[in-house]
Structure 1
Amino acid sequence: MLANDSKFLFRIKGSDNEHKVSFSELFFDLVFVYAITQSAHFLIGHFTPYGLFQSLLILLAVWWCWVFTTWVTNWLDPETIPVRLLLFTLMLLGMFVAIAIPKAFEQHGLLFACSYVALQVGRTLFVCIASRRTKPVLHNDFFRMAIWFSVAGLFWITGALQDGTNRTALWTLALGVEYLSASMSFYVPGIGRSDSKKWDISGAHMAERCGLLIIIALGESLLVTGNTFSHTPWNTSTVLAFVSAFVGTVAMWWIYFSLSAERASERITTSERSGHLGRLIYTYVHFAIIAGIVVVAAADEFILAHASGHVGNSMLIASIGGPALYLIGNILFKRLMFNSHPRSHYVGLVLLGCLVPMALFVAPFVLALLTTSVLVIVGTWETVAVRRSDLKQTL
């Protein structure tokens, strides 16, 4: 039945909803922002070199679930009942993934792995069946993906049955299989590889989906910060730390959305390489931006809990590393999309580096104010520079 009616499941080129982000997609995003928040909490509780690596594995897995679903809804129409039900099913599986994150390397490993594998393989098989009759190229692409996700799934589930470093090692191998296969265009001997240059995608839809996820992630970090602050004794240092966290989040929004997001949407929409740009920039580069938001959220919680104490190693790494990772992600985004080198971002990285030795002599809330000031400088500088450039071009 699904295969027979499959042509009605896809977005219609030239229609009003070709580029539209549906309410069901936004509903779906909420689950994965929750998973991202869970990843931040896991990071806070495991801020050691080994814990950082485990946090990276979890966040990479969460991102891979979300971004591949975004690709799917770029082709499939979420306004159709079967696709909408698919999204709701993926939401349920995503909830199990998110719920399992705090104890993923302990007693909830099997729940995490099974839910993750079911989500990845199930969604991919759905597209295989839906595209079999009407979109043979897409069908072959997703058939190759299904093979690779199934192979990785064996390592996920086997790892969940192990303990300690064995689980971490097998899950690292599983993620390596998934990411490496994508970089190899899902090459399968005897079947060939996918050609992203032939992927007919809606660039505007892809750009808006990633932008909305960043907005929701930033908003969720504000909610978590506000909740933490409401349970913290109020004094000068905690109030300043809270204000710094708020202004820093606004600055992060400004750096991404003030100028670049809309222009990027226009660029990828008119590009003849929309599939290639979508794969490179929105599938890979945007992970660094999301990871930066996660680390900044962890830093905000660290500082609110110890606003007037001593800057320890964990707090220093999160406070400097989070904004730095966010700026690096934006540098790559703007470099690859616009072929530009945002000088303000490079200067921001240098300023953050200069704060490292200073952190030994200041209170945590002061460090927060300094890192936030760097983000504000970067956002202001870029806005002024781009406005001046636009003005010169119009004269």
Structure 2
Amino acid sequence: MTRHAAIRPMAPRDPHEPHRAATPLELLFDLVTVIAIAAAAAALHHAIAADHAVEGIIGYAVAFFAIWWAWMNYAWFASAYDNDDAVTRLLTMTIMGGALLLAAGIERFAAKLDLSLVLGGYVVMRLGMIAMWLRAARNDPPRRAGALRYAGGIALAQLYWAALYFGLPPQPPVLLPLIMLGWAIELAVPAVAERAAETPWHRHHIVERYGLLTIIVLGEVLLAATLALEKAWDGSFDMRLVHTALSALVITFAMWWLYFAREPQLSSNRLSRSLQWGYGHVLVFASGAAVGAGFAVLVEILTGHSKIGLRAGDLAVAIPLGLYFLSLWLVRDRFELSGAARWVLPLSAAAIVALPFAIPALEAIAVLAVAAVAARAALAARSVSGAAADA
């Protein structure tokens, strides 16, 4: 079978393949993912602005988990098995169609707890992954047991979601624990499957894929900055909106700088470390997009379209930004840094969240975010220099 055949075996990729980068198909997949993330962030910002923060956060968490989990599973599979044949392309496009269906249902879920479109889109995405894993099981005999565990575990989880939807409709107090049980089933699948046979994922490729999604979620903050500037010149000039846009820009740059620091994101291929890093990034992604939702809430407040006050709006930015800092500590800094540098992000996270309770805080939050970048970089460089001197 030639390299350009329409259908090729789903053979494993070389985990040490040089110059491995994201493919055009993966980038198209990311484009669909950003639409779903934008829909989830928009639902969150509308809920907070309407003074329904608790309901909004729950809905956002449910929707974002579905988006992230489907994206993550595809990213790790493609890192190990992407052969770019016609079947792979069609299955990937099927998964993309499910992502769009999921995105279309987020507003209905946020307003009415209607899971139909969200769940339908999610199941379509996961059925595509079952087919992918069955192809891998057929064409990679040494790792067949692991691939079949993936396919079987994903199928079991989808049966659970279907039973949840078609069974007796639960009331909201019961719905959340049942959803969390479904999450637990989903999260257990890779841990169980990888212990049977570890997939040959490519570390550089995976780190790049996660970095690209981070840039996508940071785009939500820049989108809110654009919205603030647009509203600032909408009829009458409002300097407060300009300050909001500038703060959003500065905070976006700080978030980018912290994520793409010189320290490696994933310096070990051990399964336990890979699972911590891979799973922990859901907090990085979700909090990053939520910062954008928080800035959109501030725009609503400053233009008189919100039921909450300015301090609550500052908290809508500060809380997810603090969580973003803490998440980077959880997935990277506590492993890669030592000494005082290791504690810059958690201490900065606590200060950022506390700041709105003390003073009108948006510009101060931006200054603190920049200070955290500078302090972490200086202390990390000093730590490296000290280690080199000791050697």
Same fold at TM > 0.5: yes
CA distance in 1 between counterparts of 2:94 and 2:173 reads 27
8 A Cα contact 1:124 1:142, kept in partner: yes
What residue in structure 2 maps to residue 386 of structure 1?
A: 380
Once the two structures are TM-superposed, the CA of residue 171 in structure 1 deviates from its matched residue by: 6.3
Is the aligned partner of 1:230 residue 2:213? no
Alpha-carbon distance between aligned partners in 2 of 1:321 and 1:151, rounded to the nearest angstrom: 36
Pick the aligned partner of 2:276 from 273, 280, 289. 280
Aligned residue in 2 for 1:295: 290
Q: Any conservation in 1 of the 2:15–2:80 contact (CA below 8 Å)?
A: no
Whole-angstrom CA distance in 2 between matches of 1:168 and 1:70: 33
Aligned counterpart, 1:141: 149
Q: Deviations over 1:124-180 (max 9, x none)?
A: 233123322423133222233233322333245337x84xx6367446524522334
Q: Is the 8 A contact 1:120 1:149 kept in 2?
A: no
Q: Does 1:259 align with 2:262?
A: yes
Letter in 2 for 1:376: V
Give the deviation of 1:335 after TM superposition.
4.3
What SS does the aligned partner of 1:35 have? helix
Q: Indicate if the aligned counterparts of 2:11 and 2:81 stay in contact, CA closer than 8 A.
A: yes
Normalising by structure 1, we get a TM-score of 0.83
Q: Which of 120, 126, 129 is matched with 1:123 structurally? A: 129
Deviation at 1:198, TM superposition (A): 3.1
- The 5-angstrom pairing of residues 324-363 of structure 1 reads 324-335=322-333, 337-338=335-336, 340=338, 342-359=342-359, 362=360
Does residue 150 of the first structure (1) align with residue 158 of the second (2)? yes
Q: Unpaired segments of 5 or more residues in structure 2?
A: 2-6
Structure 1 position 194, deviation (Å): 4.4
Alignment correspondent of 1:112: 118
For 1:120-269, what aligned pairs fall within 5 Å after superposition?
Answer: 120-135=126-141, 136-155=144-163, 157-158=165-166, 162=169, 166=171, 169-170=174-175, 172-183=177-188, 194-195=194-195, 198-233=198-233, 234-260=237-263, 263-265=264-266, 267-268=267-268
Report how many aligned residue pairs link the two structures. Answer: 370
What letter corresponds to residue 88 of structure 1 in structure 2? M
Q: Matches of 1:41 and 1:52 in 2, distance apart?
A: 12
Give the TM-score taking structure 2 as reference length.
Answer: 0.84
Query: C-alpha deviations, 1:198-256, integer Å up to 9, x for none?
Result: 34321111111111100122124313431343134432211111101110111000111
CA contact 2:146–2:195 (8 Å) conserved in 1: no
Q: Distance in 1 between matches of 2:74 and 2:320?
A: 26
Is the CA contact 1:93–1:119 (under 8 Å) kept in the aligned structure 2?
Answer: yes
Amino acid at match of 1:32: T
Long gaps (5+) in structure 1: 188-192
Query: Aligned residues: percent identity?
Result: 21
1:225/1:242 contact within 8 Å kept:
yes
- 1:21 aligns to what SS in structure 2? coil
**Cα-to-partner distance string for 1:316-371 (whole Å, 9 max, x where unaligned):** 43122111110110110124542646221132123224414224xx3xxxx21111
Whichever residue aligns with residue 139 of structure 1, its letter is A
Q: Which moved more, 1:47-56 or 1:237-246?
A: 47-56
Please tell me whether the aligned partners of residues 155 and 173 of structure 1 are also in contact (alpha carbons under 8 angstroms).
no
- For each residue in 1:6-59, what CA deviation from the matched residue of structure 2 results, as whole angstroms up to 9, or x when unmatched? 634542455446x32112101101111221111111111223223321221111
Against the structure 1 CA distance between its residues 292 and 6, is the aligned structure 2 distance closer, same or farther, given a 3 Å change threshold? same
Structure 1 pair 393/107, CA: closer, same or farther in 2 (3 Å)? closer
Partners of 2:296 and 2:212 in 1: how far apart? 23
Partner Cα separation in structure 1 for residue 101 and residue 55 of structure 2: 24
Q: Distance in 1 between matches of 2:330 and 2:125?
A: 29
Residues 196, 381 of structure 1: alpha-carbon distance in 2 compared, 3 angstrom cutoff: farther
Classify 1:109/1:198 alpha carbon distance in 2 versus 1 (closer, same or farther; 3 Å).
closer
Task: State the AA in 2 paired with 1:211.
Answer: G
CA drift at 1:278: 2.4
Q: Which shifted more, 41-50 or 250-259?
A: 41-50
Which amino acid in the other structure matches residue 146 of structure 1?
I
1:70-102 Cα offsets, whole Å, 9 max, x none, are: 121111215333222222221111111112211
Listed one character per residue, the Cα deviations across residues 274-331 of structure 1 (whole Å, up to 9, x for unaligned) are x43222212x211111121122111111222334988456424312211111011011
Q: How far apart, in 2, do the equivalents of 1:15 and 1:343 lie? A: 35
In structure 2, the partner of 1:373 is 367
